[in-house]
């Protein structure tokens, strides 16, 4: 009897804890301010003392989500990062993502692990190519999106024009929750459309601390800001007439997007965004499995690995598998089952990650992200579970479009060279292919974008002490084939069949699509399948 009561209490506790979680990704085009927004949210939650980005790239201190040396030097994010902190009575799991299109695969994997997304739009640039692709991926996965119009403290587009652009180009109906007083570049503050309250905003001295905010009455605002206040109220009337009001069901159904205005670098409008995330973003709920069923949050423990990262802290030189908890209660030290092998897996070294920092974690609930340290048996997409077997959908690989043979002339560094290549492959930093033509000593890097080569070679030198040379290959398209296809293609010029190391898939690589079609036309029954079309490729 006591065991039954205890089990019921635990189940109820899991449901309560899951309802307190908000797990979301910050996504956008490069330079829209993702890492700066990550810092600003953490600052408003009082988990850091000062924001790490205050004047853009030129005066950028090390933001907590950009832990890699290359990121800190260039002021860009080339890998995803996880931060967890509390705000009000809610646990925030914030996943920062790389904005550069060359790292779309990493971004896609992060999107599979979240329940909602915050999309940043540059007020001056509006919807950019990578923004459009990311919106489409969120739509395909049914992920609700909150839009934050960033950099309103600088010259930019008209606010109503940006609303039209969102609706016309991506088909999401914008429903502004806040509305700016003052055009882009002359930002006075925002009106909360739900309460009618106007909050005047002013950047703190230096910009690294919380913004200075003051609530004003309509009469006070009208006297202070004159024509700007009149324009804002007229625009609000137009929004009301067109029915651009928030509807929670439509938002959760990913057909509308709440919109807020501000400037992350000056911490303007960030508090309002954080409150909206707590009040409106969905909590952790049942997740679909590979079998087509939904796994309830109060089912026994389960989770999946969406990212692997090594050497986040060079003093530790370890490997961390980032796992999204999907159901049940996770407890450090529990023995779970590896979904791919059926073997037991002990979760002895479990940590909560805050950028480069880390703390031991004893328990976690649906929506949380747990860092499993030195979990070398785990791969990207692996499921872990306790009790009844469950499997979450596999995470895909994107079709590579750039190829380069990689080698080192330092024979004394060969073991480190191999170890580094294996690590990069395990993390999904780059796809590694084995070529019969070149042998095991010269693997081939296959990348979605050329910047992946730069990151891979930088990490080989910085983390493994190995300098490498790249020989770029004249291929730009790959397709999955089989053993029969490999034999058919042996006599073809400017065509190779290589083995993808991580899953032993055979990839036929061609100079261009026309060449692939010409070769396919000569070989009846030749298998050439696309790797994936995930909306980002």
* Phi, psi of 534, rounded to the nearest 5 degrees: -100, 10
* Owning domain of residue 373: 287-385
In this structure, are 294 and 274 located in the same domain? no
Cβ atoms of 115 and 285 within 8 Å: the answer is yes
Residue 100 marked as a ligand binder: yes
In this structure, are 355 and 495 located in the same domain? no
In this structure, are 370 and 266 located in the same domain? no
CATH number for the domain spanning 468: value is 3.30.70.3280
Angle (CA) 309-310-316 rounded to 5° is: 135
> What's the pLDDT score for residue 206?
64
In this structure, are 156 and 195 located in the same domain? yes
Residue 230 marked as a ligand binder: no
Tell me, yes or no, whether 89 lies in a domain: no
pTM: 0.81
Residue 98 marked as a ligand binder: yes
Cβ atoms of 15 and 297 within 8 Å: the answer is yes
Tell me, yes or no, whether 474 lies in a domain: yes
> What's the pLDDT score for residue 7?
43
Residue ending a domain, among 340, 358, 385, is: 385
The total of other beta-carbon atoms located within 10 Å of residue 410's CB is 13
Residue 228 marked as a ligand binder: no
Tell me, yes or no, whether 454 lies in a domain: yes
Tell me, yes or no, whether 91 lies in a domain: no
CB half-sphere exposure, 102, CA atoms < 13 A: 18
Cβ atoms of 48 and 120 within 8 Å: the answer is no
Cβ atoms of 136 and 169 within 8 Å: the answer is no
In this structure, are 142 and 267 located in the same domain? yes
d(Cα 178, Cα 236) in Å, to the nearest integer? 10
Residue 400 marked as a ligand binder: no
In this structure, are 459 and 483 located in the same domain? yes
Cβ atoms of 61 and 55 within 8 Å: the answer is no
CATH number for the domain spanning 305: value is 3.40.50.300
Residue ending a domain, among 260, 280, 300, is: 280
> What's the pLDDT score for residue 6?
36
In this structure, are 37 and 145 located in the same domain? yes
d(Cα 127, Cα 165) in Å, to the nearest integer? 8
- Under DSSP, the state recorded for 455 is H
Tell me, yes or no, whether 509 lies in a domain: yes
Residue ending a domain, among 263, 280, 297, is: 280
In this structure, are 232 and 347 located in the same domain? no
> What's the pLDDT score for residue 74?
45
> What's the pLDDT score for residue 3?
35
In this structure, are 436 and 373 located in the same domain? no
* Structural domain count, the chain: 3
Cβ atoms of 81 and 63 within 8 Å: the answer is no
Per-residue pLDDT of the chain (537 residues; tens, 9 = 90+): 333 333 444 555 899 999 999 999 988 877 788 888 888 888 887 665 554 533 333 333 444 444 444 444 444 444 446 788 889 999 999 987 765 555 567 778 888 999 999 999 999 999 887 778 777 778 888 999 999 999 999 999 999 999 999 999 998 999 999 999 999 999 999 999 999 999 999 988 766 688 899 999 999 999 999 999 999 999 999 999 999 999 999 999 999 999 999 999 999 999 999 999 999 999 999 999 999 999 999 999 999 999 888 766 555 567 889 999 999 999 999 999 999 899 999 998 898 866 556 788 999 999 999 999 888 889 889 999 999 999 999 887 677 889 999 999 998 999 999 999 998 888 888 899 999 999 989 999 998 888 889 888 988 998 889 999 999 999 999 999 999 999 999 989 999 999 999 889 999 999 999 999 999 999 999 999 864 333 333
d(Cα 228, Cα 231) in Å, to the nearest integer? 5
In this structure, are 48 and 170 located in the same domain? yes
Tell me, yes or no, whether 64 lies in a domain: no
């Amino acid at each position: 009897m006591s065991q039954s009561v205890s089990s019921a209490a635990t189940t109820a506790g899991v449901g309560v804890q899951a309802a307190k979680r908000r797990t979301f990704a910050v996504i956008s085009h490069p330079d829209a301010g993702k890492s700066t927004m990550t810092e600003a949210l953490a600052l408003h939650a009082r988990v850091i003392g000062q924001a790490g980005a205050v004047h853009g790239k030129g005066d950028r201190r090390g933001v907590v989500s950009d832990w890699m040396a290359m990121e800190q030097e260039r002021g860009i994010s080339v890998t995803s990062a996880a931060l967890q902190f509390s705000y009000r009575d809610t646990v925030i799991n914030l996943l920062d993502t790389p904005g550069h299109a060359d790292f779309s695969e990493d971004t896609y994997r992060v999107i599979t692990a979240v329940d909602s997304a915050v999309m940043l739009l540059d007020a001056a640039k509006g919807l950019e190519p990578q923004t459009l692709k990311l919106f489409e991926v969120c739509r395909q996965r049914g992920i609700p999106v909150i839009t934050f119009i960033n950099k309103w403290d600088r010259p930019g587009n008209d606010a109503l024009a940006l609303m039209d652009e969102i609706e016309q180009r991506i088909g999401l109906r914008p429903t502004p929750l806040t509305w700016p007083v003052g055009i882009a570049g002359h930002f006075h503050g925002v009106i909360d459309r739900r309460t009618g309250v106007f909050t005047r905003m002013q950047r703190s001295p230096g910009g690294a601390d919380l913004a200075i905010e003051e609530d004003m009455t309509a009469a006070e605002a009208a006297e202070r800001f004159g024509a700007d206040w009149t324009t804002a109220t007229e625009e609000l009337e137009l929004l009301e007439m067109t029915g651009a009001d928030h509807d929670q069901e439509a938002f959760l159904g990913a057909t509308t997007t709440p919109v807020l205005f501000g400037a992350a670098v000056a911490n303007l409008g960030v508090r309002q965004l954080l409150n909206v995330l707590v009040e409106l973003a969905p909590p952790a709920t049942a997740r679909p499995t590979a079998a087509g069923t939904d796994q309830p949050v109060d089912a026994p423990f389960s989770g999946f690995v969406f990212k692997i990262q090594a050497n986040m802290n060079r003093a530790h030189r370890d490997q961390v598998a980032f796992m999204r908890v999907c159901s049940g209660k996770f407890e450090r030290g529990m023995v779970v089952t590896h979904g791919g092998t059926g073997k037991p897996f002990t979760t002895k070294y479990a940590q909560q990650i805050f950028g480069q920092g880390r703390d031991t974690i004893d328990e976690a609930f649906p929506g949380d992200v747990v860092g499993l340290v030195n979990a070398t048996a785990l791969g990207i997409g692996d499921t872990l579970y306790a009790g009844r077997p469950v499997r979450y959908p596999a995470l895909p690989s994107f079709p590579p479009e750039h190829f380069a043979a990689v080698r080192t002339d330092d024979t004394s560094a060969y073991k480190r060279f191999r170890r580094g290549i294996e690590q990069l492959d395990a993390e999904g930093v780059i796809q590694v292919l084995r070529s019969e033509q070149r042998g095991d000593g010269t693997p081939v890097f296959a990348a979605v974008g050329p910047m992946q080569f730069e990151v891979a070679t930088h990490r080989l030198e910085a983390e493994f002490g190995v300098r490498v040379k790249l020989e770029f290959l004249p291929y730009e398209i790959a397709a999955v084939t089989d053993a029969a296809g490999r034999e058919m293609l042996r006599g073809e010029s400017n065509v190779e069949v290589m083995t993808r190391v991580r899953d032993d898939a055979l990839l036929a690589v061609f100079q261009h699509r026309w060449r692939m079609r010409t070769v396919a036309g000569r070989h009846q029954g030749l298998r050439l399948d696309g790797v994936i079309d995930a909306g980002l490729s």
